[in-house]
Amino acid sequence: MSTVYFLVNSEDVSNYEEKESLTIYNRKTTNSHTASFALIDPPNEPVEGYEVIIYMDNTTQKLFAGIIVAIERATVATGKYRYTLSCIGYQRLFDRYLVTEDYSAGETHQEIISHIIANFTDPAMGFTANNVTYSMATTQYKFNYRYPSDCLREMAESESCSWYIDEDKDIHFFNIDEGATAPLEINDTTLSTVIEQFRVRSDYSQVRNRIYVKGGKAISSPTTITWTGTGTQKIWTLPYNCQDVTLTVGGVAKTLGREFVDSDDGTKDYFYNPYDRTLFCATAEAAPGNGVAIVVSLKYWYPLIVRADSNASQDSIAAIEGGTGVYEYLIQNSSYQFREIMNHAGGRELALHAWPLVEGSFMVTDYYGFKAGQTLTINITGFRFNGTYQIESVQINSYGNSILSYLVNFLRAYNAE
């Protein structure tokens, strides 16, 4: 049997912990880890802000690490108190300062997170980024007085990644398939010997299997437009909001000015307005003669859009529901400026939503090592949803004599491809 130890402000108070008072919530991405427990008449009164470390058998098997944020004091006898401690993980220390920084497209998550740690966290806290394993080039991020954890949360959500701060103040930021492996898999053997109260629930109401990703705008290659003079026409409509415009009339280069920017003082032959999308003769310029070629070369801005499909998901749904089986969805992010990033965003959306969402839970007793963010394998004979899942949260409760139960919640879009 393992032994649970409690350190409060580096003092071992294990002998003062009220039995069955410990509850730990280990979460990823959206919420900090939390812990609560009670001490009966410890030698020194705990204080808000003290560091708390809870571990098993040795200091490498940490169940929780963070600080006290609230204390409830209750009298249990004359001069004797019960202190119920509410603790939160190191995210509170991580969020001491606000981030005011613009990060350009193309920087990696490792670079951005390392910069946030170096410039927007208290150096005395000692945060590191050794487990930032997701290395895709990012889109542009603009953080205007945002907590560091909010910045990481936004990046994780935009990339369908996960993140958390571990018990050693190191940042983990990773792809859904890159988490550490859970200490056991769920199979026929573990179901009959270790796993209790195993359940799963599937839901396909969120399925979308054709993704459109609309990003920002890109500049085109030079495009040529040709009109034929009539001898009287002096104004033409450009098909695009344009730039880098050049003009020849009858093979002769003409001097172009911009309306409302350049003066119609005889130094310009023609003018164009990129917003009204018009091209017209200067006051002193005659209309091009009948049959004369008017050739415009220009570049224009166009919206970036890509499409991603899961044909297998569409075919599977079509076989059951009929029709095409297509369910469409739009992602809009004007900061997307590279097709590579947009294709990745569409692929990640399909990975998460092209198939039914399967969530479940189970319990184990005295089986150390389960943490949010780990990958969990299910391999049960005849089970429809065998595969790899991600642990979303772990709730740990004590039952006296250092006996701990773990309620593990997991989630994954079941991928039949």
Can you spell out the DSSP letters for 63-117? Answer: EEEEEEEEEEEEEEETTEEEEEEEEEETHHHHTSS-EEEEE-TT-BHHHHHHHHH
**Per-residue confidence band for 413, with pLDDT thresholds at 50, 70 and 90:** low
Query: Across all residues in the chain, what is the average pLDDT?
Result: 90
Q: How many residues does the chain have?
A: 417
Instruction: Evaluate whether residue 309 is within a structural domain.
Output: yes
- Are 146 and 72 found together in one domain? no
- Are 222 and 300 found together in one domain? yes
Beta-carbon contacts of 112 under 8 Å, excluding residues fewer than 6 positions away, are 103, 138, 141, 151, 155
Asked which of 89, 108, 138 is the last residue of a domain, the reply is 89
What's the token pair of residue 406?
A: 């773990």
Give the residue from 135, 298, 330 showing the smallest Cα distance to 215.
Answer: 330
| Percentage of residues of the chain with pLDDT beyond 90 | 67
- The tens digit of pLDDT for each residue in 242-264 reads 889 999 999 999 999 999 999 99
Sign of the alpha-carbon dihedral angle for 185, 189, 194, 195: positive
- Are 9 and 61 found together in one domain? yes
- Are 64 and 83 found together in one domain? yes
pLDDT greater than 90 at residue 274: no
**Total domains, the chain:** 4
Instruction: Evaluate whether residue 181 is within a structural domain.
Output: no
Tell me the β-bridge partners of 171. 165
Neighbours of 267 (CB within 10 A): 10
Cα–Cα dist 319/98, whole Å: 52
Asked which of 89, 114, 138 is the last residue of a domain, the reply is 89
pLDDT greater than 60 at residue 416: no
What is the helix (H) or strand (E) element at residue 118, kind and residue range?
helix 109-120
Beta-carbon contacts of 414 under 8 Å, excluding residues fewer than 6 positions away, are 202, 355, 356, 357, 358, 385, 387
Cα–Cα dist 86/69, whole Å: 6
**Per-residue confidence band for 97, with pLDDT thresholds at 50, 70 and 90:** very high
Least confident of 153-157, 191-195, 200-204, 264-268: 153-157
Instruction: Evaluate whether residue 180 is within a structural domain.
Output: no
- The CATH number assigned to the domain holding 368 equals 2.40.30.150
Beta-carbon contacts of 122 under 8 Å, excluding residues fewer than 6 positions away, are 93, 96, 97
Q: Is the pTM of this model over 0.75?
A: no
Q: Is the pLDDT higher at 413 or at 359?
A: 359
What is the helix (H) or strand (E) element at residue 348, kind and residue range?
helix 339-353
Instruction: Evaluate whether residue 270 is within a structural domain.
Output: yes
**Per-residue confidence band for 30, with pLDDT thresholds at 50, 70 and 90:** low
**Per-residue confidence band for 1, with pLDDT thresholds at 50, 70 and 90:** low
**Phi then psi dihedrals of residue 36, to 5 deg:** -140, 145
Instruction: Evaluate whether residue 66 is within a structural domain.
Output: yes
Is residue 58 within 8 A of residue 3, CB to CB? The reply is: no
**Per-residue confidence band for 138, with pLDDT thresholds at 50, 70 and 90:** low
Instruction: Evaluate whether residue 110 is within a structural domain.
Output: yes
Tell me the residue range of the domain where 323 lies.
206-354
pLDDT at residue 174, as a whole number: 87
Mean pLDDT of 282-295: 95
Instruction: Evaluate whether residue 332 is within a structural domain.
Output: yes
Chain Cα centroid distance, residue 381: 34
What's the token pair of residue 201?
A: 């629930």
**Per-residue confidence band for 43, with pLDDT thresholds at 50, 70 and 90:** very high
- Three-class secondary structure of residue 239 per DSSP: coil
pLDDT at residue 137, as a whole number: 66
Can you spell out the DSSP letters for 284-335? Answer: TPPPPPTT-EEEEEEEEEEEEEEEEE-HHHHHHHHHHH-TT---EEEEE-TT
- Three-class secondary structure of residue 135 per DSSP: coil
Sign of the alpha-carbon dihedral angle for 23, 28, 29, 33: positive
- The tens digit of pLDDT for each residue in 331-379 reads 998 878 778 888 888 988 898 889 888 999 999 998 888 999 899 999 9
- The tens digit of pLDDT for each residue in 155-177 reads 888 777 889 999 999 999 988 77
pLDDT at residue 348, as a whole number: 82
Mean pLDDT of 199-213: 93
Mean pLDDT of 295-321: 93
pLDDT greater than 90 at residue 403: no
- Are 266 and 339 found together in one domain? yes
Q: Is the pLDDT higher at 416 or at 316?
A: 316
- Are 98 and 151 found together in one domain? yes
Instruction: Evaluate whether residue 168 is within a structural domain.
Output: yes
Is residue 164 within 8 A of residue 373, CB to CB? The reply is: yes
- The CATH number assigned to the domain holding 106 equals 3.55.50.10
- Are 39 and 164 found together in one domain? no
- The tens digit of pLDDT for each residue in 219-229 reads 889 999 999 99
- Are 224 and 346 found together in one domain? yes
- The CATH number assigned to the domain holding 51 equals 2.30.300.10
Q: Is the pLDDT higher at 285 or at 417?
A: 285
**Phi then psi dihedrals of residue 69, to 5 deg:** -115, -20
Cα–Cα dist 263/94, whole Å: 57
- Are 190 and 315 found together in one domain? no
- Are 55 and 115 found together in one domain? no
Asked which of 64, 89, 114 is the last residue of a domain, the reply is 89
- Are 213 and 285 found together in one domain? yes
DSSP3 helix / strand / coil % (the chain, rounded to 5) = 15, 45, 40
- Are 41 and 134 found together in one domain? no
pLDDT at residue 319, as a whole number: 94
**Per-residue confidence band for 178, with pLDDT thresholds at 50, 70 and 90:** confident
